[in-house]
Amino acid sequence: MKKIFALETSCDDTAAAIVDQSGRVLGEASFSKLEEYNIFGGVVPEIGSRAHIEHILPVTKEVFRMASLTPGDIDAIAATFAPGLVGPLLVGAQFAKGMAQALNIPLVAIHHIEGHILAGHQDENFPQAPFLALIVSGGHTALYGCDENYLITTMGETLDDAAGEAFDKIGRALSLGYPAGPIIDALAKTGNKEKYSLPIAMRKEEHFNFSFSGLKTKALEIIKKHAPFNEHDRADFCASTQEAIALALCEKSIKAAVEKKYQALVIGGGVAANSRLRELLTIACQNAGIHLYLPKKQYCTDNAVMIAKAAHLRFAEHPNSNHLFADVLATLPIEGIEEYRRSAGSLFIDLFGGDAERI
């Protein structure tokens, strides 16, 4: 596929991009509902769905304008079909289906996590598979193995809160606004990370799972006890919290890479933009002789470039893909994506007939 137009609408952002087969970004644009969410302190699915409907067309037009292309110049469409909030997902998937049908070009359904893992694919520094991937966001915190055929399996995941969720909930208790991760990151810069002691769960355990609820509960207790913080103490508290979360993520990733003999680590998801996590991983990977790929910060948080990049790779593997009959799913383990794509729309084909070859 020469040029892919992609949409990402699984959560906060209405994002669109056009990427060519060499990985060059020809156009990208996104609209974020974060200001609207700020009033409520978090994601509100109904507001999200309505805002996606309002913004999907302007964002699409902007991307074509930036790329100096028309829809007729596009060779395929891609969209996030799972996992995520069903309303927002539906807006992107239905828009993509309409475009694909109107233009008579194929559509590929992408899993949000494969997008995050492949956000840097074809960048100079992006490793050849196999590699280990740490994906950390507001909804996910997990380690994935990506094999030489780019098949992805979960190696460990959070048993309770995601790391981004912990940042956001702690930030909310400090009245920092949403999302709190980047604000805590900024405040931590002048703080003393040793001032408050926060627990890191399951440090010595064999498995590669994470847990952040104990850390979050302890942090909320400290806030209750000391509130209101003066500016100095707040910076120390942010630095201490960030240090504990970043250390938990870094230690498990290095342990998994060493034990499973991965020579490269890729990170992604909003929390991968965290400056202390990037610093700790850079040092630890250098010491362990592991190649580390740090995506640009703009491609850590949700974006459509990552969906286009994943789609290029999937089209290269299955050139006849077309998932026009796929349904969006709120949950879908990454291991299920190949089967999901294979069987997408079988009910529709049974009912109405169809060109099974193209599905």
| Distance in angstroms (rounded) separating the CA atoms of residues 330 and 233 | 40
* Nearest distance, CB of residue 8 and Zn ion, angstroms: 8
| CA distances, 151 to each of 57, 145, 290, 334 (Å) | 33, 8, 21, 9
Exactly one of 8, 28, 114, 185 binds ligand KG4 (CB under 6 A); that residue is 185
Residue 83, interface with ligand KG4 (CB under 6 A)? no
* Nearest distance, CB of residue 301 and Zn ion, angstroms: 7
| Count of residues touching Zn ion (by CB under 5 A) | 2
| Distance in angstroms (rounded) separating the CA atoms of residues 266 and 282 | 11
Cα atoms found within 13 Å of the Cα of residue 206, Cβ hemisphere only: 0
Residues 111-150 that bind ligand KG4 (CB under 6 A): 137-139
Amino acid at 16: A
Helix-then-strand count for the chain, H and E: 12, 10
* Nearest distance, CB of residue 185 and ligand KG4, angstroms: 4
Binder of residue 271, out of ligand KG4, Zn ion, none (CB less than 5 to 8 A by kind): ligand KG4
Q: Which strands sit side by side in the sheet containing 141-146, from one edge to the other?
A: 152-157, 141-146, 131-136, 264-268, 291-293
| Count of residues touching ligand KG4 (by CB under 6 A) | 19
In the bound state with ligand KG4, the residue whose beta carbon lies nearer, of 243 and 345, is 243
Which residue in this structure is represented by tokens 């060779």? Answer: 75
Amino acid at 131: F
Which residue in this structure is represented by tokens 């087969």? Answer: 21
Residue 168, interface with Zn ion (CB under 5 A)? no
Give the range of 69-77, 178-186, 308-316, 320-328 binding ligand KG4 by CB under 6 A: 178-186
Please list, in sequence order, all residues whose beta carbon lies within 8 angstroms of the beta carbon of residue 260, skipping any fewer than 6 positions away: 132, 145, 155
Exactly one of 92, 302, 341, 345 binds Zn ion (CB under 5 A); that residue is 302
Which residue in this structure is represented by tokens 């790779």? Answer: 313
Residue 14, interface with ligand KG4 (CB under 6 A)? no
Residue 182, interface with ligand KG4 (CB under 6 A)? yes
Exactly one of 96, 302, 309, 340 binds ligand KG4 (CB under 6 A); that residue is 302
Residue 88, interface with ligand KG4 (CB under 6 A)? no
Exactly one of 67, 170, 267, 273 binds ligand KG4 (CB under 6 A); that residue is 273
Helix (H) or strand (E) holding 4: strand 3-8
In the bound state with Zn ion, the residue whose beta carbon lies nearer, of 6 and 239, is 6
Residue 270, interface with ligand KG4 (CB under 6 A)? yes
Give the E-state strand segments of 65-151 in sequence order: 76-82, 107-111, 131-136, 141-146
Exactly one of 167, 196, 293, 315 binds ligand KG4 (CB under 6 A); that residue is 167
Binder of residue 290, out of Zn ion, ligand KG4, none (CB less than 5 to 8 A by kind): none
* Nearest distance, CB of residue 270 and ligand KG4, angstroms: 2
In the bound state with Zn ion, the residue whose beta carbon lies nearer, of 12 and 243, is 12
Residue 137, interface with Zn ion (CB under 5 A)? yes
- Torsion sign over Cα 295, 296, 300, 305: negative
Say if CB 281 and CB 267 are below 8 A apart. Answer: yes
Six-digit token string for 154: 């979960």
Six-digit token string for 111: 């899993």
Binding site residues, ligand KG4, CB under 6 A: 11, 137-139, 164, 167-168, 179-182, 185, 269-271, 273-274, 301-302
Q: Kindly list the residues in this chain that would bind Zn ion in the complex (CB under 5 A).
A: 137, 302
